[in-house]
Amino acid sequence: TLEKLGSQDFEQMSTTELAAAEAAIKSLRLPIAQLPTRRMAPSARGSLDPRAAFRNARRHGGTFLTLPKRAPRAKPPRLVVLVDISGSMSNYSRMMLLFANALKTGRHKIHSDLHVFTFGTRLTNVTRRLANKDPDQALADIGRLVQDWDGGTAIGASLERFSKDWARRVRGSDSVVILITDGLERGDTARLGQAAQRLQL
């Protein structure tokens, strides 16, 4: 397939559209379990915290009034999001990027350790552009950076490029990769299967 090149001039969202989008995004939660860390924190359930117990006892003349407990702190896993921006995904890719922007810069910063790539016929790292707290500006910056909007789809080649150039830099043992695509591959489907298997491994 021929590669369609060109930047994307995102129209500014109206105040009503932006408010509705932000309200919908705030209600979304990724069903990804948090991971325990080596750091401990006070907890109602967990193992006995001897240091905290003795500190409390010293304040009360050596009497153990309570037995504090502790448990490992939990944190969200590192997220890597690959967003299909080909023609068949044009109605969805903008909202997915807006969602990624909210995950990275929103009030709660649920997934601040987030890396985002777009792909159609080529792979582009848009993580830095998504760091802008103004979602309209973030999308405008991405629109100027990415050159394969609304064109063909080369999912297999894009996944291969990610595995070769980026996987070791942005992934860790605790990372989760989210692939957002309708799966409409214009290239070799066998190549796509191999690339997807490698990504999973």
pLDDT value, residue 22: 65
pLDDT in tens, 137-162: 988 999 899 988 888 888 999 999 99
pTM score = 0.73
pLDDT in tens, 25-41: 666 667 777 777 788 88
User: CB of 90 within 8 A of CB of 74?
Assistant: no
3-state class (DSSP) for residue 89 = helix
Q: In what order do the strands lie in the sheet with 123-125?
A: 123-125, 114-119, 79-84, 176-180
What sections of the chain are H helices per DSSP?
15-26, 50-59, 90-105, 127-130, 135-145, 155-165, 167-170, 189-200
CA 87 to chain centre: 22
CA 180 to chain centre: 11
Query: Tens place of pLDDT for every residue, the chain, 201 residues?
Result: 445 555 555 556 666 776 677 677 666 667 777 777 788 888 888 888 888 878 888 888 777 778 888 888 877 778 899 999 998 887 788 888 888 888 887 655 556 688 999 999 899 999 999 888 888 898 899 989 998 888 888 899 999 999 999 988 887 767 888 899 988 887 788 888 898 888 887
pLDDT value, residue 27: 66
pLDDT value, residue 1: 43
User: CB of 82 within 8 A of CB of 96?
Assistant: no
Longest Cα pair distance anywhere in the chain, in angstroms?
80
